A = this chain, B = another copy of it.
Amino acid sequence: MSKLTTQRQAILDVINSSNRHWDADELTRSLSDAGKPIGIATVYRGLAALEAQGLIHSIQLADKKRYERADKEHHDHMVCTQCGHIEEFSHQTIEQLQQAAAHEKNFKLTGHQLVMFGLCSGCQQE
């Protein structure tokens, strides 16, 4: 298991201190702005290490990967195609039905990602 270096702790702190879904570049800039400059390669390696240790979670969007804190219950995401806002939701029955569907196809499930696209409540006002 890799170690929790100063840089990785700093990344983890930023992520854990908010409910945002961060990309690598945003984290790099946030740390720079906070007076803790960090190499972009270090950010990518740190994110991979932190995720491997289960300390953060990620969602793979069309263009890039976004990371969020891991200390929340499992949830899936609705992404606003207008403003990029990410809404979270949990649905226990959907989770169960996924297991059932996998079982039926003889598929050994290790993970899943459900992303819904559309307009957030704010963006419907126009």
Contact = CB atoms under 8 A, between A and B. Distances in A.
The size bracket of the interface on A is 20 to 34
A41 interface: no
A112 interface: yes
Given A60-B62, A62-B60, A78-B102, A118 B108 contact: yes
A16 to B, nearest CB: 24
A116 B76 CA distance: 13
A107 B121 contact: yes
Contacts of A119: 107-108, 110
Interface of A: 60, 62, 78, 80-81, 87, 89, 91, 93-94, 97-98, 101-102, 104-121, 124
